[in-house]
Structure formats: structure tokens, C-alpha cells
Structure 1
């Protein structure tokens, strides 16, 4: 037994030892991978990267940067690359002792160091490329500046007439660029690439500004010397022609304003000669704005004349219509007042409108006299005509409303008379139907309703003979009589239908009297009620009796009666 136990322990120990050796074998792979990466990292071309700067002028700022990069390379090697070998060696020792976690920690440290070394390389490559690119950009801009300098100098010399008095200041500014170009060359030779960059970019901006000036100056001179004076002349003669054609343009103040603008224009060319182009543009903009204002005033006058010609006849028609309608109302109002009750405010409004129309006609006559003059300010005429048009339209609307109201009075009276005649005719027709029906007698309430309608009709007819008539009160009274008549007709129709229905029920039920004693009694009661004009109660008793012997028959009889 002891022997088996010992053998089992030995087997377990051998298994553990085998596992340990297996794990160590696997861990050695990460050491080998770290070793392979170290060899790759060692081959990173720091020196080749710095050789890019060697092709430049290694002086000044460039030299300082180059030396800093050399020191960075040395620091990266000492601080990050050199300790890697030691970390890998320590990891191997740890593995030999089967200390796997310690070995893993050393390998992780080695990778971290190599990461930093690679990051340092990438950062240095980036900075070197930026410096090389900056040198290249400097040279490209420098060559452009030299070309622009030569072309501008040649352009001013060849086209001096286009720049007028600004040619000399332009030449002076262009000549000032030559020492600036030389200054760039000096900074470049001294290796101060950052200063050289800032200098050449500033110089390029200044050259571009002068190039823009050279494009703009001929346009400004042309506007100041030709375009604006031409517009002044056109405006002056155009206004003269308009005055000949009858326009009053005194409010535009052509002569005084043009003289003021000419004075302002005289300041523009000296500004251009001093290369104060922003001030020159502002001055020209002010002059153009003032010209636009004058053109707007003149255009307003021309449009006003066209509108005056278009609306004059229309306003004449409106005034004529207003006067004619007012005359008609004044002629008819006395007759209307004798026959119809109307508000005194309506009568007063007719007189008021008469005065207003006379005033508007007087204003219109003054406008026509103004238009007959040799010089007319059509904008004022247009405003006055618009005032006239607005007021005469309001008067016409009010007079039309009043005229329609007076016409409506007559129509309402006629409608009331027609309605009263229809009521009288309908009442007699309904009453004749009641008399001709199968009713034992006409119910007393219908006689009362008929008499009430007769009384109201007679009273209303008396009102038609009175003068003046209050049409609204008359309409309201006739409307009430119509409602009475409708009620009379509806109730009469109900009674007639119920009477026929009650009679049909009793007639149909007679067939059951002999065999059904209860039906016979009920029908006797129904007949008694029928003779006393109590048709609804008679119907109820007959329906109950018939439904007890023949369900559904009452609905059939009712449908036959009402269809």
C-alpha cells in the first residue's frame, strides 16, 4: 500500500514537472517575439531621417533643430532601446527559475520601452517632414514673389496711363519689395527658416495687396473720370427733357445736387493717387447712392404720371356715380319717409354725403387745374387722386348700402303681403278639408285657432293701410302668423290622419266582434271615443284589441293609411 502511494506521488511530481517545462517552453516564445521586435526597432532609420535636414543649410534655426534631433535620437537610444536587452535577459533568467509572472512583467516592460522608442521616431519624422515642407513652401512663395515683383514693375512701366497719378506711388511700393526679397535670402542663408517663412508670407500678402490695387485702380479711375461724369450729364439732360414734357422736378434739386456730387468726386482721384482705395471706394459709393436716390425720385414721378393717366378716368366715373346716386336718394327720400319708417340718421347721411361729394368734386377740379399747368408734380397729383379715390369709394359703398336698404323696404312689404295672402288661402283650404273629412264634427280647438288667425290677419291688413309703415315690425308680425298657420295645418293633418286610422281599425275589427266578446267591448268604447273626437285614445284601445287576436295587423293598417 505504501509502495502504491509513493508511486502515485512520484507520478504526480513528474506530471507537475512536465507541465512546468511545457509552460516554460511556451513562455520562451514571447521572449523570442520580443527579441525579434527589438531587432526591427534597432533598424529604425533615425540617421536617414536626419539626412533630410543635411541637404538644407545647417545654420541658425535649422542647425539648432538638427542638433536637438540628434540629441533626441541619443536619448531615445539610451532611455528606451538600451534597457530592452536587459529586460529580455532578465525575463530569460526568470523563466529558467520557472517564475512566469516575473518573466511576463519584464517582457511587458520591454515592449513598453520599444513603443516609446517607436513613438519618438514617428514624432521626429513628422517634425523633420514639416521643416522640409516649410523650406519647400518658402522657396515656392519666394519664386512667386520674384515673378510677381518683375511683372508688376513691368506692368506699371508699360501701362502707366492706366494708373494716372497713382503710378508713382505704385512704383515706389513695388521698389520697396526688392530689399524685402533680399532680406528673405539673408534669413534663408542664415538657416532661420521660421523667420524666413514668416517674412516671405508677409511679403507675399503685401504683393498680393498691390496686385489687387493694380487691378482695381484702372476701374476706379474709369468710374471717376468717365462713368460718373457721364451719368451726371445724362441725368442733367434727362431732367431737362422731362421738364420740357411737363414734369415738376424742383424737389429733386438736380443742379445743386449734381454740383455737390462733382465736388465730392474731385476728392476721389487724390485718394487713388495716395493708394487710399478704401476711402475712394467709400466716397464713390456715397456718390452712387445719392445718384440712386435722385433716379428713384425721378422714376417715381414718371410712374406717378402713368398711374395718374390710368386712374383719372376711373375717379371721374366714381365721382359721377356718387353724385347721380346721391341725387336719386335725395329725390326718393321724401316719398320713402311718407310711406316707410326709416332712421333719421339715414336721412342725415344723404345730406352729409351730398356735401362730401361737392367737396371732392371741388378738389378734383383743383387737381385738373394743377395738371393743366406747364409743370406738374405728378407724385403729389397721384397722392391726391388716391385720397379722392379712397373717399369716393367709401361714399359709394355707404350710398349703395342705403339704396339697397330702401329697395329692401319695398320688397319686404310686398313679401309680407304675399305671405299674408298665402296664409289666408292655406287656412281656408285646411278648414275645408276638416269640414269634408269623416270627422263627426270639427274639433273646437281648430275653430278657435282659425278665428285667432282670422283676427291676426285682419289686424295686420289694417297696418298695411297705415302710413308710414314700420316694415320690420310688420315682417315680424306676419312671420308669427305664418308660424300659427303652420301649427294649424300640422295639427289638422295629424287629426285627419288619426281619424282615418281610427276608423280603419274599427272597420277591420268588426270581423272579430261575433267571436270575441272582449274585442267587441273594446271596439264599442273606441267608437264612443271616436264620436267625441278623441281619436288617439280610440286608436290605442282598437290597437290593443286587434293585436290580441291578430298580432302585427295594426302596423299593416297604419302603413296603408300613411303611405
Structure 2
């Protein structure tokens, strides 16, 4: 029982303590609200309102400040007294136990002071804005008056530099000054809100006018002086160039100059209407077209200098190429009586001659144009450049054709010499074979020897023709030399195999009676040698037999043979 009572007492004590602490918390909030109310009173906001009223506001500005005064009156006469009353109630009730009522009174007071602070903040911002506008407008009036004075002075003292734009500029300035008068009047009368709405557009218009006044003299001078002078200079120079013998391809100078004069005239109207963006864009187009005409004349002048320097040289080059081609054709015609020209030499030389004639025709037309003062020098310069390039190529081709036939006579003589040498070589081979005193020669060798002999005869007949084909001669020589080399190899093989076969058989005779195998091989080798003329087979048969009976014996015989052969050749 005692424990229950103690527990109840503890709970009551805790609740009481919590209530006391909460009441104390609300009391602290109430004291904070009192401090916030005191700060609002210390602002002396009425003095600030009175200062703004002293500016002498009218219109929307006066309505706004009256509204601010009403809001402030509501704060001081209604909200603050109610807040104070709620704060006193919180202080009083915080001593009791009705913490719910105290809490509601405290919350109401806190909401009211928040409202009051927000209202005061808005009022102060408005007052600051009014003071700022008043200062800004006073300064704007002074600044704008100075700017308009300066603009008037420029338009008056430099009116010629503005050309057709002067009337529009003066009208623009008058319009802006009228707007300025409205702004100044509203500002001085205290209607700053309406005045501020005008000021932005007024500043923008004034900035644009100042920019136009700054830019127009240059744009006007460019069109009225620079462009007009350039157009007349181009017209005069073009006329002088025509009189001096210059012509222009697709000459449209007169049309272009007339278009430029019209464009300049239109652009002066753009300036008069203050349409400067369009005027500047037109300036760029006009300048580009003028530069193009200058460039066309400059190219003709530069081209004439180069033509004057090189025209005669090109003419001499043409005559040189023409003469060289005639000499080449004459030489080809002479050679064609004795030699077959099988690579289109004559046709190619004639084609080069035709090309030279075409170059000469163009040259003559250009020369007539110069003499008749109808020359388009840029075109003539292109012709000279192209002609020189073509003539260079023609000269290279002429040289190649000439080189290809220049050695025909030497080649013919060399071919005769080679043919004589081959014929001698063939007789030399024949003597070598005869000197062997062989029982016979294989049909294969005889046939190959006959082929080479016939080839030499055929080439002799080719060389004896009235008109020789050196291509055919060279081809036949190439074949004969190859077959000659093969015949020499076959001859060497024949001489070596037959000579060695005889030596080995002589060596084998010493073993004939004592070695039946050698005796049999010797008989077979002799048959191959004497009856069938198969000297390599004869050698192989007997060499195999003696090497079997006496290893290394054939190699010694062979080495001795080739050594003697080499020594004999060296002595020769």
C-alpha cells in the first residue's frame, strides 16, 4: 500500500514539474515577444514615413505612401496593443495550472508579432525604394539634360556629317526630349512610380540616339565619299584600260557600276531613315562588289606585265619546237627506207606536230588581239602558261622518239658483228667435234646443232632485207645467243664424256684379263661408244666398274683430265 502511494506521489510530482517547466518556457517566449515589440517601437518608423511625405509625393506614389501609413497605423494602434495584452495574459496565467490557455495566448501573441514585423519590413522596403527613386530621378534629370545638350550641340555644329539623317536625328531628339519633359514633371511632382516606368525606355532611346550620332558620320562618309569616289575611279580606270587595249572576259563593268551607284543611293535612304543595321549590311555588300572590280582590273594589269615579258619568248619556243619536229619527221622518213619503225614513231611525231600547230594558232590569235587592242591579258597569260607546259612535254616526247631510233645504224652494225661472231663460233664448234675423231655423233646433238645453224641463216636473210626490223633482229639475236649457249654446254658435255670414256677404257684394259666384271663392262662401254655414240652412258658404265674394282680410281682420272683441260685453256 505504501509503495502504491509513493508511486502516485512520484507521478504527481513529475506532472507538476513538467507543467511548471512548460509554463516557464511559455513565459520565456512571452518575454522574447516583448523584446521584439520594443525593437519595433525603437525603429521610429513614423519619422521615416514623414520624411518620405516631405518629398512631396503625388499620384501612384502618394497612394502607395498613404497605404504604407495605414499599414503602420494598424501595427501601432492595433497589432502592438493586442500583442502586449496577450503577453500580459501569458505572464499572469503562467502562475496558474491552466497551461493550455497560456499556450494559446502565447501562440496568438507570437503570430501577431510575426505579422507586425512582416508589415514593418514591407513598409521599410517601400520607403527605401521611394528615397532611392527620388535620388535616382534627381540624378537622371541632371544627367539626361547634359546628354541632350551635348546631342543638340553635335547636331548643330556637325550637321553636314550626318547627311540625310540630320532631320530624322533632330526629330528623334525632339521626341526623346518630350518624353524627358514628362519624366521630369512626374519626378518633380513626386509621382516617382510613374516616372520610373518612363525612365527605362527614356534611357534606352537616349543610348540608341547617342550610338546613331556616333556611327552615322562614318557610314555616311563611306557611302557619300569613299564609295562614290571608288566607283568613279573604277569607271575612269576601266575606260582608260579599254582605250589602251585591255579587254575583260564577260565585261559587265558598266552594269556593275550602275548597280553600285543605285546601291549607294538606296543606302543613303537607309541612313536618312536611321536604318543603320541595314545600311551596315549594305556597306559590306557594296565593298565586296567594289573590291571584286578592283581585283579584276588588277589581275589584267598584272597579267599584261607578264604577257609583255613572256609573249615573245613563247613564240620563239613554238618555232623551236616546230623546227625540231620537222627535223624529227625528216629523220624518221629517212630511216623508214632502211628500217621498220614499229612503235608508231612517225604517227607520234605527226601528232606532236599537229599539237604544235594548235598551240601556234592560239598564239597567233592572241597576237592579233594584242595588235588590235582587244586583248584579255588574263586569258592570254593562261594560254602562255599552258603552251609552255605543253611545249615542255612535247620536247620530252620528241627526245624520246629521237633516242629510240638514233642508234639504229649502230645496232645494225653490232648485229652484223654479232652474227659474224656466231657464225665463227659455230664453225669453231664444228672443228672441235671433228678433231675428236669420234666414230659418230648422236642424232640429238646433230639436230640441235642444225637448229642453231638454221637460226643464223635466218638472221642473215633478215639482215639482207631492204628494210630491216631492228626489233625482229634483236629478238632473233636473243634466241640465237641462248641456243648458242646451250649448244656450247652440249658440246662441252660431248667432248668431256667422250674423252673421259676413252681414257677410262684405256685404264680398264689393264684389268681386262684379271677381272671378269671389268671385262664385261668394257665390252658394253665400247659398244655404246663405237656403235651407239652414247658417250655419257659409255663413261658411266666403265667408270662404275673400275670404281668398284679400285675405289677412287675414276675420280683421280677425272681430276687429272679437268686439270689438264684448264691448263690448256690458260695457255691459250
Q: Calculate the TM-score normalised by the size of structure 2.
A: 0.56
Counterpart position of 1:458: 457
Q: CA shift at 1:374, angstroms?
A: 4.9
Counterpart position of 1:449: 448
Q: CA shift at 1:298, angstroms?
A: 0.8
Distance in 1 of aligned mates of 2:281 and 2:416: 83
The reply to whether residue 156 of structure 1 matches residue 164 of structure 2 is no
Q: CA shift at 1:481, angstroms?
A: 1.9
Q: CA shift at 1:156, angstroms?
A: 2.8
Counterpart position of 1:303: 302
Measured against aligned partners, the alpha-carbon deviations of 1:489-529 in whole angstroms (never above 9, x if no partner) come to: 23334445666777898899999999998678768866776
Q: CA shift at 1:282, angstroms?
A: 2.9
CA contact (8 A) 2:304 2:377 kept: yes
Secondary structure of the corresponding residue to residue 380 of structure 2: helix
Distance in 2 of aligned mates of 1:418 and 1:179: 122
Aligned ranges for residues 100-499 of structure 1 at < 5 Å?
153=148, 155-160=150-155, 161=158, 162-164=161-163, 165-166=165-166, 167-168=169-170, 171-172=173-174, 175=177, 178=180, 212-239=211-238, 242=241, 246-248=245-247, 252=251, 254=253, 257-342=256-341, 361=360, 363-374=362-373, 376-385=375-384, 402-407=401-406, 409-410=408-409, 412-431=411-430, 445-495=444-494
Q: CA shift at 1:488, angstroms?
A: 1.1
CA contact (8 A) 1:184 1:200 kept: no
Unaligned runs of at least 5 residues, structure 2: 1-31, 53-60, 69-121, 567-572
CA contact (8 A) 1:441 1:533 kept: no
Measured against aligned partners, the alpha-carbon deviations of 1:160-208 in whole angstroms (never above 9, x if no partner) come to: 325443542553575487489889999x9769xxx98xx9888877666
Distance in 1 of aligned mates of 2:559 and 2:171: 118
CA contact (8 A) 1:529 1:535 kept: no
Out of 296-305 and 525-534, give the one that drifted further: 525-534
Counterpart position of 1:28: none
Distance in 2 of aligned mates of 1:422 and 1:205: 111
Q: CA shift at 1:372, angstroms?
A: 2.9
Q: CA shift at 1:276, angstroms?
A: 0.4
Q: CA shift at 1:260, angstroms?
A: 4.4
Q: CA shift at 1:471, angstroms?
A: 3.4
Q: 1:552 to 1:530 in 2, by over 3 A?
A: same
Secondary structure of the corresponding residue to residue 216 of structure 2: helix
- The alignment covers a number of residue pairs equal to 437
Distance in 1 of aligned mates of 2:412 and 2:141: 104
Distance in 1 of aligned mates of 2:200 and 2:558: 114
Out of 399-408 and 543-552, give the one that drifted further: 543-552
Measured against aligned partners, the alpha-carbon deviations of 1:107-135 in whole angstroms (never above 9, x if no partner) come to: xxxxxxxxxxxxxxxxxxxxx9xx99xx9
Unaligned runs of at least 5 residues, structure 1: 1-42, 64-127
CA contact (8 A) 1:419 1:482 kept: no
Q: CA shift at 1:467, angstroms?
A: 1.3
Secondary structure of the corresponding residue to residue 267 of structure 1: helix
CA RMSD in angstroms comes to: 5.9
Q: CA shift at 1:294, angstroms?
A: 1.2
CA contact (8 A) 2:543 2:554 kept: no
Measured against aligned partners, the alpha-carbon deviations of 1:437-486 in whole angstroms (never above 9, x if no partner) come to: 79887655444433332232123212222212233333333332222212
CA contact (8 A) 1:145 1:204 kept: no
CA contact (8 A) 2:501 2:542 kept: no
Q: 1:524 to 1:269 in 2, by over 3 A?
A: same
Counterpart position of 1:538: 539
Distance in 2 of aligned mates of 1:224 and 1:244: 29
Secondary structure of the corresponding residue to residue 339 of structure 1: coil
Q: 1:543 to 1:384 in 2, by over 3 A?
A: same
CA contact (8 A) 1:232 1:258 kept: yes
